[in-house]
């Protein structure tokens, strides 16, 4: 069973349906007991970083996310959910994140279109990652005005190019993050999500 954190900010329904289409059970929940019993968990997110952290703290789900990460079971942050895994964000002032991954979320700056929106090709930096098992580099769909800058290169699994190298997928131990929405990113997106779910179910190591 895959727990999807319900903290009021995320495409909960679309993520849940994608998990089910891939043949896994998904439960949208804020119940600590249900979360703790899950094989894997997904932290989705749409909106502003500070608002999301406030919602997580008010519902005490910030502690549940950290506890799940500490359990060693696979955790996936999607879009804003990925950004929340980092130490802090400069969106609407400095806001502290979950601090599961060291690094900062910053705004795109430059003479180009913001937000970054559209299909961009992934570049796999750590092809041995189980997330990439059986996959080839391809395009996924991005919509974001802020991007994560990990402190450690070892946490960076894949990038894309948008006038600079942009963080696309991150990982440290059992904690994973995708800046794009895999459920809205065609075949490759669903394959990446499927590999994460296979990790959570114990069918891929």
Domains of the chain: 2-201 (3.40.50.880)
Q: DSSP code of 8?
A: S
Whether residue 101 contacts residue 150, with contact meaning beta carbons closer than 8 Å, is answered with yes
Greatest CA separation for the chain: 48
Query: Quick check: helix, strand or coil at residue 200?
Result: helix
Q: Is the Cβ–Cβ distance between 45 and 84 less than 8 Å?
A: yes
Residue 165 predicted with pLDDT over 80? yes
Distance (Å, whole) CA 123 – CA 65: 28
Q: Is residue 8 scored above 90 in pLDDT?
A: no
Question: Residue 45 pLDDT more than 80?
Answer: yes
Q: How much is the average pLDDT of 131-135?
A: 97
State the average pLDDT for the chain.
Answer: 96
**Residues 50-65 pLDDT 10s:** 999 999 999 999 999 9
**Overall average pLDDT of the 90-101 stretch:** 96
State the average pLDDT over residues 87-103: 96
Sheet order of strands, 146-150 included: 95-96, 86-89, 101-107, 146-150
| Mean pLDDT, residues 28-49 taken together | 96
Give the active site residues.
79, 181, 183
Q: What is the pLDDT of residue 9?
A: 83
Rounded to whole angstroms, the Cα distance separating 7 from 29 reads: 8
* pLDDT at position 190: 98
Q: Per residue in 171-198, pLDDT tens?
A: 999 999 999 999 999 999 999 999 999 9
Phi, psi (5° rounding) for residue 161?
A: -110, 120
Residue 147's nearest CA partner among 98, 87, 80 is 80
Task: Evaluate whether 66 touches 14 at the Cβ level (below 8 Å).
Answer: no
Q: Which of 83, 100, 91 is nearest to 149 (CA)?
A: 83
Query: How much is the pTM?
Result: 0.96
How high is the pLDDT of residue 10?
79
- pLDDT at 204 (0 to 100): 57
Alpha carbon of residue 149 to chain centroid? 14
Pairing of strands 2-5, 26-29: parallel
Residue 11 pLDDT: 80
Residue 89 has a CB neighbour count (10 Å cut-off) of 26
Cis peptide before 188 (omega within 30 of 0): no
Q: Which of 3-12, 40-49, 52-61, 121-130 has the lowest mean pLDDT?
A: 3-12
Question: What strand order describes the sheet that includes 26-29?
Answer: 26-29, 2-5, 40-43, 75-78, 175-178, 165-172, 156-161, 123-124
- Give yes or no for residue 203 having a pLDDT over 80: no
């Amino acid at each position: 069973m895959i727990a999807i954190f319900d903290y009021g900010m995320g495409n909960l329904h679309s993520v849940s349906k994608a998990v089910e289409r891939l043949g896994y059970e998904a439960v949208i929940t804020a119940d600590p007991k249900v979360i703790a019993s899950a094989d894997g968990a997904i932290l989705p997110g749409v909106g502003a970083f500070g608002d999301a952290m406030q919602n997580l703290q008010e519902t005490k789900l910030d502690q549940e996310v950290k506890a799940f990460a500490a359990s060693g079971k696979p955790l996936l942050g999607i879009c804003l959910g990925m950004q929340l895994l980092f130490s802090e964000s400069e969106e609407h002032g400095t806001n502290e994140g979950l601090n599961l991954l060291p690094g900062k979320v910053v705004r795109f700056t430059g003479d180009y279109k913001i937000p970054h929106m559209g299909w961009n090709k992934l570049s796999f930096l750590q092809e041995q990652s189980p997330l990439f098992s059986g996959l080839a580099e391809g395009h996924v769909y991005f919509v974001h005005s802020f991007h994560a800058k990990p402190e450690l290169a070892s946490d960076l699994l894949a990038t894309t190019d948008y006038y600079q190298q942009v963080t696309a997928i991150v990982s440290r131990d059992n904690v994973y993050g995708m800046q794009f929405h895999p459920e809205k990113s065609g075949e490759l997106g669903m394959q990446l999500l499927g590999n994460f779910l296979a990790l959570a179910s114990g069918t891929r190591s």
